[in-house]
Structure 1
Amino acid sequence: MRVVVIGGSGHIGTFLVPRLVHAGHDVVNISRGQHSGYVDDPAWEQVRQVTADRATGTFPDQVADLAPDAVVDLICFDLDSATALVERLRGATGHLLHCGSIWRSGPSVKVPVTEDTGTPPVGEYGIAKAAIARMLKEETRSGGLVTTSLHPGHIVGPGWHPIGPLGNLDSTVWHRLSAGQPIEVPGIGAEFMHHVHADDVAQAFEAAITHRDAAAGEDFSVVAPSALNVRGYAQIAASWFGQSAELRPVTWDEFRNSAGDEAAQLSWEHLVRNHYFSIEKARTLLGYTPAYEPEDAILESVRWLIDHEQLDVANPLTMD
């Protein structure tokens, strides 16, 4: 098939585009300029590159004019933009796959969360992703374009910083853990975060393309087989450096004063949701079998950052 990937040069596309090429598909990558992923792969040499800007009014026509059998949209965050693409592709392509987010669900009430048991989303990003997923499902079930939405957890892999044990991107936590220094933990440290390796997300998209009929009109949570809570994440991460995590519980006000408003807000956004999702639906309908436990995916990311001198740590990794 001809598969058009919108935003294929990012985290997921780094692994998805080569997967599709190796599977024998004719792949077109639409981006605003970057033409390869975070990891080198000779498969990129077989990919047709198209430069386009989603903000232009002609973008849906540009996608349709490529005559795709399937379109994978990895960078849609707005309902109007998603709707415009659906309306243009209706009758012109066989399958539209959308990358959503587990943040389409709000704070957990019962875990693991399934596709049908999430609470209403909170925050602009999650609300938008939930609205897009509803629109896509209604489109297919009303007899329109065949669509599928896949909702990854916190994506990790080589080339970028993972969401850390405190639920933010403050890289100093890795130095403190590697040095055996104490870290302040807001709340009680039992809040979950659900990570997923970018290649496992790519696996799910490839499976949804392959199993189009099973995926039609459906939505799927795409996460690792298990989730880490704050305490467990910190202890596991410290052990990578031969250390034991010393955790000091603090109030959210105290944490905000020490971490700063931006880092504390990001921590709040992640930890208040307390997310831990089921992959049973994706496993049953798509054959989704994630290769990475969350700690393995995060370790790969951390190792890459250290090797490329993008992460300051006090001691070397002791893990093979």
Structure 2
Amino acid sequence: MRIVVIGGSGHIGTFLVPRLVRAGHEVVNISRGTSTAYADAPEWAQVRQVVADREQQDAEGVFGATVRGLEPDAVVDLVCFTLASATALVEALRGTDAHLVHCGSIWRYGKSRRVPIDESGAGAEAPLDEYGVQKDRIARMLKQETASGGLATTSLHPGHIVGPGWHPIGPLGNLDPAVWTAIANGEPLQVPGSGAETMHHVHADDLAQAFQLAVEHRDAAAGEDFNIVAPTALSVRGYAAIAAAWFGRTATLEPVTWDEFRASTTAGHADASWGHLDRSQCFSIEKAKARLGYAPAYEPDEAVRESLRWLVDNGELDLPVPCVLGSEPPPPR
């Protein structure tokens, strides 16, 4: 197939584009041309690069025509954040035989009510912020588009994406490097809430696997939405304990109120922690396993450990005992 990937130079595309090339597909990557993939791979030499500023072309009303003009069999949209942008692309592709696969987010769901949360959404409250609201609206529009006999569409909703090349969401639900330093040094870690709150990560290559499966199993994927996460979720205290063991330490957690926590860190880190821990999400992947054959290779802690190793090895995270992380990534499950 000719597969057009929109925004293929980021987290997901770093793994997805080489996967698609290895599978024998013709791949076209649309990006602004301002960045490259997080990890180099020989397959990128076979990828056609198209430079286009989506935001600008959306404003001009021509982005959909740009995509349609590439005559794709499938379009993987990794960087769509508003219903208006998604609708414009659907309208441009309607009438073709293309299959549009959209990257959503588990933040289309709000706080957990019943876990694991499945695609019905019955296990969660309404989305909590505009990002989640837009992702939910897009997913519903796409499902309705296909159900009404229009364009073939699918939406995938990843958890907290982690992989080599960028910082993972840590045990406190934020990107504060000081959390990792405290864990590695065996220092007490101030934890807001109960410590039982959960986060659900996914390795970027497992997510790429799901996109490839959705493209290659169009009949099973069309008109559907799928949660794409690791086989298990991590609680705050469990995550901290696992991470401390990587450094030969035992996690020491000090419960604090949210007001106390906010006073001890930056507003940005505190807001990120609240956003992740207040939702306290855990998801089912049974639908993706049954319909697509999704088989994630990484448990969440293995994915995070690989990411930390890359950050240490590349001088982006200064930890006192990096040797404990080892020189080789853990074997995929």
Q: Aligning the two structures, in what range does the TM-score lie when normalised by the shorter sequence?
A: over 0.9
The yes-or-no answer on 1:86 pairing with 2:90 is yes
Corresponding residue for residue 67 of structure 2 = 63
In the alignment, residue 310 of structure 1 is paired with which amino acid?
E
> Any gaps of 5 or more consecutive residues in structure 2?
327-333
Aligned partner of 1:208 among 214, 219, 222: 214
Corresponding residue for residue 45 of structure 1 = 45
TM-score, length of structure 2 as denominator length: 0.95
What displacement does 1:93 show?
3.8
Aligned partner of 1:309 among 311, 315, 318: 315
In the alignment, residue 50 of structure 1 is paired with which amino acid?
V
Measure the CA separation in 1 of the matches of 2:100 and 2:229: 21
Corresponding residue for residue 102 of structure 1 = 106
> Any gaps of 5 or more consecutive residues in structure 1?
none
Corresponding residue for residue 218 of structure 1 = 224
In the alignment, residue 113 of structure 2 is paired with which amino acid?
V
TM-score, length of structure 1 as denominator length: 0.99
Measure the CA separation in 2 of the matches of 1:235 and 1:14: 30
What displacement does 1:260 show?
2.1
In the alignment, residue 91 of structure 1 is paired with which amino acid?
G
The yes-or-no answer on 1:165 pairing with 2:180 is no
Alpha carbons 1:36, 1:44 under 8 Å: kept? no
What displacement does 1:91 show?
1.3
Corresponding residue for residue 330 of structure 2 = none
What displacement does 1:317 show?
3.8
In the alignment, residue 122 of structure 1 is paired with which amino acid?
L
Alpha carbons 2:309, 2:325 under 8 Å: kept? no
In the alignment, residue 133 of structure 2 is paired with which amino acid?
I
Q: Cα RMSD between the aligned structures?
A: 0.9
Corresponding residue for residue 283 of structure 1 = 289
Measure the CA separation in 1 of the matches of 2:115 and 2:63: 39
Corresponding residue for residue 302 of structure 2 = 296
Measure the CA separation in 2 of the matches of 1:267 and 1:317: 28
Measure the CA separation in 1 of the matches of 2:265 and 2:253: 15
Report the number of matched residues: 320
Measure the CA separation in 1 of the matches of 2:128 and 2:149: 30
What displacement does 1:35 show?
6.0
Aligned partner of 2:196 among 170, 177, 190: 190
In the alignment, residue 229 of structure 1 is paired with which amino acid?
S
Measure the CA separation in 1 of the matches of 2:97 and 2:286: 29
In the alignment, residue 160 of structure 2 is paired with which amino acid?
H
In the alignment, residue 134 of structure 2 is paired with which amino acid?
A
Write out the 4+ residue segments of structure 1 that deviate beyond 2 Å after TM superposition. Answer: none
Alpha carbons 1:99, 1:152 under 8 Å: kept? yes
SS class of match (1:318): helix
SS class of match (1:214): helix
